[in-house]
Structure 1
Amino acid sequence: SVLQVLTQAQQDISHIPQLLARAIPSASTFFINFTIMRICLTQTMELINLGAVCFYIMGKFQTQSPREVDESKNPGRLMYGDILSRTLLVFLIGATYAVLAPLILPFITLFFAASLFVWKYQLSYVYISEMDTGGLFCFAQVTAFGLFSLKGSLLSIVMVPLPFITMWVTGSLTSKYERKATYLSLDEAIRADIIVRANEISPQEESPPALEEFAPMYLQPLLMIPPLFPRLTEQFRTDNKKSPEDETRREAEVLSDLADNEGTIDEAVDENSPLLRAGEA
């Protein structure tokens, strides 16, 4: 133990290296058990997420508003500092005992393999990222510029325009997409979907002119599937006296009028004789 080493070191200081050489390898058993405990207990408890589960169960009986219901389902913030410190501790143990006690290496490898599986799943499906970079690109570039300048490297010249380019790109993307993504009304979104639907039924051009005003609007990849209408479905009420071609042509005319703002959705969905069948969103 440490106390035994210190007691023996007080008797003869010159024997400290020999004492440490005998004591450090003998402590590898403790760190092997410590690593196994990290694998079996820490990673398992992270997958169970017992605190969030208990909070959700209690919230089902105490919540009274939709906001409180959403808050009870929130898994909480991911504490990167805590995770990084624990991971670096295991890495340091493995780097220290890799030569002195190689038996610890399989357990260190198993720990990082389990960590890769657990945190890949947690970050992909459980935790919600509250920030991406948070503007840290500029700080990183300024820091790199200072480091290269102190070293006298020519790379410092290359780093000079990077903060300005980053700020310009950030401002450009914010002005083009942030306002439209934040304040896009439901009516405008429905009208854009109707225009796309009308062009699919009766294609006239590759890019309808009516969609040009929506060009700066950011479209998430998941939203690039066929649109789902909040008040309309793709099922149409057909008449036995009319052929499917006539119904499709009439449908294209109605959607074209809606796209040109010549008709309203309420006119298309008439309660007495609706052309389009109203459905649930």
Structure 2
Amino acid sequence: MAMNSSVNEFILFGLTQDPRKQKAIFGVFLMFYLATLLGNFLIVVTIKRSRTLGSPMYFFLFYLSFADACFSTTTAPRLIVDAISQQKTISYNECMTQVFSAHFFGCMEIFVLILMALDRYVAICKPLRYTTIMNRHVCSVLVILGWVGSCIHSSAQIVLALRLPFCGPNVIDHYFCDLQPLLKLACMDTYVINLLVVTNSGAICMVSFIILLISYVIILYSLRNYSAEGRRKALSTCTSHFIVVVLFFGPCIFIYTRPATTFPVDKVVAVFYTIGTPLLNPLIYTLRNAEVKIAMKMLWCSKV
């Protein structure tokens, strides 16, 4: 428990207090969560077992799907259970664990998206050196660096959270523990800590988004030298990546790059990047990718 804190548990307000809406939330988000787990599980297993999906792009997609499943698991089960339970309490330690894990897997998703953009940049802009530059050893080191970077980011977040004293009230106006709603409950001046949160999470979101935008602009510019068929295939892949980037970074930038103010719409926006993006990623990457669809059919039809 934090120093100078008299609160040992919090009450999560959730998305709504309306009993009928809560039942709908339980049903809808349970289906969303199960679909997320199933979709990402299919991609992870298909890439792991398939001999045709051995390129760096699918190596990174494997880790994106893994991060998606874990990221959704940090928030969705609590939202689903709280929708039908009378006691919507979460202990202080569980709350801090949720802050750490949500930021860890969310940051990992950001780093993997950057690695996927880097992979497409090398494949399209330096095709002759692609296999040399993006070999398996380099890809593994890049993913490890992503894990380390995520751990540093989430550790910084949890250090800030642990410094907050709570004297009551203990009702978090959100469906999961995050620093912004916790800052509202802290019985201290949180201006400096909020500044650090914006500097940390906000900067990661903005800088990563700008890097990704620049990389895709360079990729699109490089495609002018390709044949019509080559452009079509490259554009299809890059469009999938870009859709995922916009869906994830739009809500993140809205939440983490502003002063210590919260809006009622924040919870709905948070649903997009904590539950919506992990659900949509498998659909985007399978429906728009012929290689993944063929590999899935071959693998799962042979199993059946």
TM-score bucket (shorter structure): under 0.3
Greater relative CO (CA pairs within 8 A, separation 6+): 2
Task: Please state which structure has a larger fraction of its residues in helix.
Answer: 2
Taking structure 1 as the reference length, the TM-score comes to: 0.26
Taking structure 2 as the reference length, the TM-score comes to: 0.24
